[in-house]
A = this chain, B = another copy of it.
């Protein structure tokens, strides 16, 4: 697995594309040059992105898939401010997301942060509006999320993240809806189960492993810390994971640490075995000794998921694997956790991730707990994958305008304005040549730039002959008989 495998769902992912290099250069310049000089730095702040129209159309295309999928699945849109009180994100456990928070003191001394993730705002919204909301809730959003790193080499500081969450459903029927929505999105953008795998497990597995198999009694904080260390397993040598585990969680002995790592990583230790469908689940259970654990509710839940996603259910099991090494890097998860990975050579990156967080309201001081689960799905990795696989339709990035109206001279400008207005009222996208009409070459260059289908010339000879205009079809072959026609403007 790649370095980015353990990106949690809220962190802007690593960025390997060319435009980031210019951001890096920009940052160096900003730090030396921004002293009130006369010329501005044209680069955006390091780690942030501008979107030119072609890039913006690509983003809009992806977002339209997020919106379409969300609405198809019955998720309702919501939003919250990009700026929140810092306290909303402060949690114990050494999460990367909290360490890298983009926080600052504003003028009235409040400690605020540009949101690193959406879930805390969602929890705040639900807590605030609890009395007027009916459960279950299915809500979605596409917030921009921020992080601050002092070492920003090749890493973004912001990304957009599609979030879908289900509140009020304690059963894994909710997780399966989320899985299905993610896979619907994958299909919608042209991905297949050969290119992407959704891996899942449950925090309850590692919890019960520690408790039942190894007989440890960890506090909630120590358990969360253990999960966050195990989540980083992919990035580190097993020996280092062991050391950190023993150091940070003294209840864990060297022997237990080694056993834990071996169990979590068993799929990677047997890379050639077939672990598709529920095979990994069976193999994993065979490694366990405690019968009560093996036949207990935790595995019942996992099996229920396999039933729901099977051929006679959601029919998405080709996309999904059980993998106990998935624990996720956020401390609030309490049950099922999952990540979708690209399995393409050179692009084995985490695309999205999520899980169940049944106790989040409690951490915010609420007496009522509401079961909840959700995922975050960033815009950067998926676009990189789709670009690599040539799955972004080329037509979406360029402008397309139906009609382009060109006045013969300045005296025909009002008439051209009348015609462009007529076309727009008919629902046709239309533009008008606003510069000096005498420059015919420039107007054709403009027609080409805006991707016009028809050029409509408004000139005295045709106009004075019953309000006619000359229409040139710009996308038809030169020898086509319909290439150029003269018609009354109301027939356009």
Residues of A within 8 A of B (CB): 30-31, 34, 36-45, 48-53, 56-57, 59-60, 71-74, 76-85, 87-88, 102, 104-108, 110-112, 114, 121, 124-125, 127-129, 134, 136, 138-139, 144, 148, 150, 158, 166, 168-169, 171, 173-174, 176-177, 180, 184, 307-310, 312-315, 364-366, 399, 401, 413-415, 417-418, 421, 424, 427-432, 434-436, 445-446, 449-450
**Cβ contact within 8 Å between B84 and A44:** yes
How many angstroms from the CA of A309 to the CA of B418 in the assembled complex?
9
**Cβ contact within 8 Å between A52 and B129:** yes
A27 to chain B, nearest CB (A): 9
A85-B45, A313-B417, A414-B310 given as contacts; is B40 within 8 A of A108 (CB)?
no
How many angstroms from the CA of A139 to the CA of B50 in the assembled complex?
14
A430: B residues at CB distance < 8 A: 72-74
**Cβ contact within 8 Å between B107 and A148:** yes
Cβ-neighbour of A50 out of B76, B80, B144, B184 (below 8 A): B80
Cβ-neighbour of A177 out of B110, B173, B432 (below 8 A): B432
22 cross-chain CB contacts under 8 A = A40-B364, A44-B80, A45-B110, A48-B81, A50-B125, A52-B129, A53-B78, A60-B77, A71-B429, A72-B429, A74-B401, A74-B429, A74-B450, A108-B150, A134-B445, A134-B449, A136-B434, A136-B435, A307-B413, A313-B413, A314-B414, A314-B418
A85-B30, A171-B434, A417-B314 given as contacts; is B180 within 8 A of A42 (CB)?
no
A368 to chain B, nearest CB (A): 13
Most buried by B among A71, A81, A450: A81
A312: B residues at CB distance < 8 A: 414-415, 418
Enumerate the 10 nearest inter-chain pairs by beta-carbon distance, A residue then B residue, closest first: A39-B365, A313-B414, A74-B431, A42-B128, A53-B76, A48-B81, A173-B434, A51-B79, A313-B417, A56-B77
How many angstroms from the CA of A108 to the CA of B74 in the assembled complex?
43
Most buried by B among A60, A417, A449: A417
Residue of B nearest to A170 (CB): B435
| New A-B contacts (12) at CB < 8 Å, excluding given A72-B428, A173-B434 | A36-B87, A39-B366, A40-B88, A42-B128, A50-B128, A53-B76, A56-B76, A60-B77, A72-B430, A104-B106, A171-B435, A312-B415
A152 to chain B, nearest CB (A): 9
A74-B429, A76-B399 given as contacts; is B139 within 8 A of A53 (CB)?
yes
**Cβ contact within 8 Å between A434 and B106:** no
Residue of B nearest to A144 (CB): B82
